[in-house]
Amino acid sequence: MVNRLTQNAFALALCSAFLFAAGCAKKNVQANPPVASPPAPSLSEVERPMTVAPDTDASPPTEAAPAVAPAVAAEEPANPPISIPATKAAPNPKKPPEPPVEAAAEPPARRPAPVISPQLSPTDQASYERKTGEDLSVAEKNLQGAQGKQLNAAQQDIVDKVRSFLSQARDASKTGDWARAQNLAQKARALSVELVNSL
């Protein structure tokens, strides 16, 4: 029985030693003090292009042995500090001075568009010239027949269009564009015939 009593006393001493070493159930955990970190660099400093060559004689940074992590995780700063070498600002490119703008500047005169006319063989050109001359003379004769008569608004409009086509046909023939001159003379003739029929 003494043996048993000794065993129980030994077990009780062991349990109380274990409880004493573990401490009480309400254990206070203390966090590491906050680490002051430098302010994060502004966006303009981070994105600034490097204009100075890096130091090529420098040795690579040495890494320190990793420290043993404590049981409670410490907060690490969100952005590690970045060192940016000081640089000189690039000089602004000089713009050439602009000439003063005149308030009442005249718009440049428009050149007439170049006339593009088809290349005609000599026989085709002679045919166009003959037909243009015939159509012009018929249209002018019909206009003379309508002269001095009382014309309504529609008839007066036809007279104005025939005169316009005659003028354009003469201008085209002067520049040597016989295909265009013949086309305009045909229009003038057709309208002049319509005018005579409406009288």
119: left (phi over 0), alpha (psi -120 to 50) or beta: beta
Give 98-107 pLDDT, tens digit per residue.
655 555 555 6
Q: What is the CATH number of domain 122-198?
A: 1.20.1270
Predicted local distance difference test score (pLDDT) of residue 5? 77
Q: Helices marked H in the chain — which ranges? A: 2-22, 43-46, 122-146, 153-175, 178-198
159-169 pLDDT, tens per residue?
A: 999 999 999 99
pLDDT at residue 112 greater than cutoff 80: no
Greater model confidence, 79 or 152: 152
b or e along 54-64 (b: 16 or more beta carbons within 10 Å of the residue's beta carbon)? eeeeeeeeeee
- Identify the three-state secondary structure at position 95: coil
Q: How far is CA 18 from CA 8, 15, 31, 91, in A?
A: 15, 5, 26, 75
pLDDT of residue 87: 61
Give the pLDDT score at 16: 77
Q: What pTM did the predictor assign?
A: 0.42
12, 14, 18, 19: CA torsion to nearest 10: 20
Give the C-alpha separation, 117 to 45, whole Å: 66
Looking at residue 109, its pLDDT comes to 73
Rounded to an integer, what distance in angstroms lies between the CA atom of residue 127 and that of residue 195?
Answer: 27
Residue in the block written with tokens 């009382």: 150
pLDDT at site 123 = 86
CB atoms within 10 A of CB 166: 22
